[in-house]
Copies of this chain bind each other. A is one copy, B any other.
Amino acid sequence: MNDVHKTESESTERSASKTSTRRADLRARLVAAGRAAIAEGGLQNLRARDLAAAAGCAVGAIYNVFDDLDDLILRIGADTLAHLEQGLAAPPGPAPEPAEELLRLSRFYLSFARANKALWRALFEHRLAGGRPAPAWYLEDQGRLFALVEAPLARLLPDEPAASRALLARTLFSAVHGIVSLGLEEKLAPMSEAALEGELERLVRAFAGGLTIRRTGEDPWKD
């Protein structure tokens, strides 16, 4: 390989890397613009024309860096999940009692949903065109959140098989999500913040207590 060839190859690499950086920049700008649009007015506020204007690109350029708007919405969702995950991460120190840890996770979920209502709502409202299932990379992002629920469940039920524990984490998350979502939306009679927090605690404590008793015959409520 002579010097001329080397220079040409380096220049091609530099140019490829520049293109890839430009693409990554545009993707990030579009995700940020989409995030702001959803935060302001929900999923129905997401319009390709507005996104392109906010990100400073042509409408067609959106489809050079995302498969379609669904793909962009999933990336915004992943971004929301990442923020949620940061907040849910366990504080340093020894592992707390499982029921307390489950309660901490549930309370943070409620406060996150309250503070980021439109973005949180969009996670559940968005449906992929044609009823397609969510892609594997997105389910993997979700899985990391469920793992945070599985950890205290593993301490609560050390003999539970992993597959059953994974289902249980999802079940507890779904139950908490139901209470949070029906509590924050206006479909049932309105509920005070304190009442909602109290009910969340009642569910988590009764559920954790009931699970423990079933397994060990031990009564966690006895003094």
Contact: B217 with A221, CB < 8 Å?
A: yes
Other-chain residue from B125, B175, B222 in contact with A179 (beta carbon distance below 8 A):
B175
Determine whether A195 belongs to the interface, using a CB cutoff of 8 Å to chain B.
yes
Determine whether A189 belongs to the interface, using a CB cutoff of 8 Å to chain B.
yes
Stretch at the interface among A1-9, A53-61, A64-72, A202-210: A202-210
Contact: B134 with A202, CB < 8 Å?
A: no
Q: How far is the CA of A103 from the CA of B221 in the complex (A)?
A: 24
Interface residues of A in 168-223 (CB under 8 A from B): 168, 170-179, 181-183, 185-191, 195, 198-199, 202-203, 205-211, 213-214, 217, 219-222
Contact: A206 with B210, CB < 8 Å?
A: yes
The verdict on A174 contacting B183 (CB below 8 Å), with A167-B199, A222-B217 known, is: yes
Determine whether A162 belongs to the interface, using a CB cutoff of 8 Å to chain B.
no
B residues within 8 A CB of A207?
203, 206-207, 210
Determine whether A47 belongs to the interface, using a CB cutoff of 8 Å to chain B.
no
Contact: B187 with A170, CB < 8 Å?
A: no
Determine whether A133 belongs to the interface, using a CB cutoff of 8 Å to chain B.
yes
Nearest residue in B to A170 (C-beta to C-beta)? B188
Determine whether A24 belongs to the interface, using a CB cutoff of 8 Å to chain B.
no
Q: List 29 A-B contacts (CB under 8 A).
A: A124-B185, A127-B185, A133-B186, A133-B190, A134-B186, A134-B187, A142-B189, A167-B191, A168-B199, A170-B191, A171-B202, A171-B203, A172-B203, A174-B179, A174-B181, A174-B182, A174-B183, A174-B199, A177-B182, A178-B178, A206-B206, A206-B207, A206-B210, A206-B211, A207-B210, A209-B213, A210-B213, A213-B219, A213-B220
Where the two chains meet, the residues of A that have a C-beta atom closer than 8 Å to any C-beta of B are 123-125, 127-128, 131, 133-134, 139, 142, 167-168, 170-179, 181-183, 185-191, 195, 198-199, 202-203, 205-211, 213-214, 217, 219-222
